[in-house]
Structure 1
């Protein structure tokens, strides 16, 4: 009996420090400690742990799959899905719909993404079967260097002194990336795509339960006067559920971007307002300059693709670690020793959970050592995401040797990174860097069969807690390692001018190996745990044949080379005890995934139209929704 059925059976059954301490969020102090190395900004005090999972759990509402033909959009909010659906129904492309949805998402779930942040986007063009990986990740200002997060003594600053304020703000990349992608793949006019968000910002939308909960729990957003006036009443209480929230400042900003494109955000009055607010932050001023905004450029990269059984899975290359690490996890899963056996007859599966946790340890060890911005080292040297590095890390023989270490008992953590022969001589130190899970994901298919899988982010919930002209700025620079080296060896993800911090965002598109036809569009928010969420779902769907809605609803679990995390309230204590007997350090934590998937069945059928049959799936842990042709938008 293989580990795959065992995993399936398991999942089927089953000063800010004091202010952060007061926030009533569910946390994993041990998991925090794993990231709280000197490279990552010094020890994270337990009192400040509340910011480590800023997108807290706000409930679990079972969902049904949505079926359709022609086009489909799955996003994190009903308003955004409706906006995407309206664009698709009007003949817009998948890229057009993604832009319309993203502009709405920045309004209705400002904790997660927006025009003050960045994104990674996979685009598949059906007519020539061309796949592109668009990199709209934020960059470090030109004035930033490896001392950005060091204090006067040359020691990494405490992490939670860095999260809030101008010093954490990277150069936003989302709008310029979408603009360049639209020039290639858009069908409707650029300005038309902003109309749904502008109307909603001016007319207002009801505050959702999730937005209210996150506003109420955030300890820092009230300190920004513009944000406080928008999201809180005079007593400092969060706007209640159902409150009609209008954001005329954002409506005006979006109208300018609709007219002038990204230039409206990257030059002129809005750019000056961004820089002024970043540099004048009262407690943590930053280094961003107008020239940084003016000269930002997105990148088009080669997707990371690998064969997995009957499918070919494609994801984002570095500076996202998502594509490579998901690939390693699936390859390690397949290569793990087959002698592991199931114990007990209660239907739970400690063996499958053990195996999944162990492959996570091995993959995250390599991630933390090798992956970073590929543009900042010469090919074959240092930390780059060049083709040589990716090929070495995904080499089947190398991963088979790594997988051979998986046995009946848990590997002691932290597991050391591997040493692919092709990377011998690279002087690199491993450094896990804190990455807070405020992201959003959308999956879209249009009538022509074009696909978009996009994950966007402003890093921590509500980013740097700095609002400019109705939108929030990111704090993505805290995704860098806080120290540039360890024990005399450079750290791959150190700060450098113009560099993009490492990310875990893992949008993915899956194809049938035999026909080349697209089979699945998927991704999730959730910080470094994104990688585990996507890998677990791919195993369930591709290996086990689990339907997409059930797959995105399964209990979450994993190990990022530290404790083995089990989703609070969804996994029984008996599994935790079984894993502890195998040597795992186990914790129950909130694991607030937001998986959004579309499965495509494009097999031709006699007497039927040629449109693919589509199945949309929404993670029940958030407020996502499906819009589809022929379903009334639901």
Structure 2
């Protein structure tokens, strides 16, 4: 059980690795580990189109921000404009930047800070945020809003290094394990104990406790969990059946990798593998970033006509997931990464499906 990790020889090795580090020794104690408790929390859920989308509660910002983006896009007919339209991606980019502004100001560990999740997802507040989007012209700024129940807060950018993994598994009874985990950066803190690497999650905190005289939500506090962007997501249909499960690696871009994939399935009507393979989009430097050498970078001029600079960059991702198709589940993984999906039938036959780009024919390796 958990005592094998939090007490005894393994705990001793962890504490020793931290306190004797030659680079930056810490002051972790055996008591720190013994007193730690994993917390079971309610999922954060909201409707989108005819579905209910659920994800991870704070201190992950994933579900709240994904659901804000989707909610802000609810009034736009993305299905009609389609995946090949610059207008669709422009609207996605606008909703993204508004939601991330709220993320930086309000999201943190709700055991230490009042996080207005209900206010951020309040339908009337979402309508207010959506009304900030001009369908024809990009904004010059993307301010955080004032959701119901929010305490005075200052926005401050937190760091988050890509060092994450995700897997989705569905058994024959439809039980779903949808897990995102991170050690923060390549090899985490680069310290080893008990045969595994120790994480470097403290860098997910915002190191400025105050800004402009108001507290920063994600400031460092003893016992506090740092903000993350992990976004393991499960989608339910109108009958309450799970029909989609997915997640991704990618640091703060995880939220957008997952959101883009959800839009690909729900709005563009794509199967999960093709939705994952859609180009990635993010923001930075006062404009939009689009995945280079994709159909999205090819439409950069069309996107730029809405008023923001558009820069093609490397936006790698590692989305993995599973989708209910008919009465069975089909796995899918990201063509940008080394992940694959496998299906085991009732006779034990394993089918491994290699990820593919949208325009490629599928290939299967059956063993």
What TM-score results when the alignment is normalised by the length of structure 2?
0.89
Equivalent residues of 2:156, 2:216 under 8 A apart:
yes
Corresponding residue for residue 422 of structure 1: 149
Corresponding residue for residue 331 of structure 1: 71
Per the alignment, do residues 599 and 593 of structure 1 end up closer, same or farther by CA in structure 2, a change over 3 Å counting? Answer: same
Corresponding residue for residue 361 of structure 1: 97
Match of 2:47, SS state, is: strand
Corresponding residue for residue 541 of structure 1: 265
Match of 2:265, SS state, is: helix
- 1:373-392 alignment, distance < 5 Å: 373-377=109-113, 383-384=114-115, 389-392=116-119
Of 246, 256, 262, which aligns to 1:522?
Answer: 246
Quote the Cα distance in structure 1 between the aligned partners of 2:8 and 2:167. Answer: 31
Corresponding residue for residue 337 of structure 2: 622
Quote the Cα distance in structure 2 between the aligned partners of 1:520 and 1:322. Answer: 16
Quote the Cα distance in structure 2 between the aligned partners of 1:616 and 1:324. Answer: 25
Equivalent residues of 1:455, 1:523 under 8 A apart:
yes
Quote the Cα distance in structure 2 between the aligned partners of 1:615 and 1:470. Answer: 34
Corresponding residue for residue 319 of structure 1: 59
Per the alignment, do residues 560 and 492 of structure 1 end up closer, same or farther by CA in structure 2, a change over 3 Å counting? Answer: farther
Equivalent residues of 1:318, 1:373 under 8 A apart:
yes
Q: Residue 573 of structure 1: CA displacement?
A: 4.6
Quote the Cα distance in structure 1 between the aligned partners of 2:195 and 2:309. Answer: 44
Select the structure that is richer in strand: 2
Q: Residue 461 of structure 1: CA displacement?
A: 1.6
Corresponding residue for residue 568 of structure 1: 292
Gaps of 5+ in 2: 353-367
Select the structure that is richer in helix: 1
2:168 matches 1:453:
no
Per the alignment, do residues 421 and 271 of structure 1 end up closer, same or farther by CA in structure 2, a change over 3 Å counting? Answer: closer
Per the alignment, do residues 571 and 287 of structure 1 end up closer, same or farther by CA in structure 2, a change over 3 Å counting? Answer: farther
What TM-score results when the alignment is normalised by the length of structure 1?
0.52
Per the alignment, do residues 373 and 296 of structure 1 end up closer, same or farther by CA in structure 2, a change over 3 Å counting? Answer: same
Equivalent residues of 2:248, 2:320 under 8 A apart:
yes
Bigger relative CO (Cα 8 Å, ≥ 6 apart) = 1
Match of 2:299, SS state, is: helix
Match of 1:276, SS state, is: helix
Match of 2:104, SS state, is: helix
2:111 matches 1:396:
no
Please report the RMSD computed on the Cα atoms of aligned residues, expressed in angstroms: 2.1
Quote the Cα distance in structure 1 between the aligned partners of 2:189 and 2:312. Answer: 28
Quote the Cα distance in structure 1 between the aligned partners of 2:53 and 2:285. Answer: 24
Of 196, 200, 203, which aligns to 1:478?
Answer: 203
Match of 1:374, SS state, is: coil
Query: Which of these two proteins has the greater Rg computed from alpha carbons?
Result: 1
Of 138, 141, 145, which aligns to 1:410?
Answer: 138
Per the alignment, do residues 525 and 429 of structure 1 end up closer, same or farther by CA in structure 2, a change over 3 Å counting? Answer: same
Per the alignment, do residues 481 and 617 of structure 1 end up closer, same or farther by CA in structure 2, a change over 3 Å counting? Answer: same
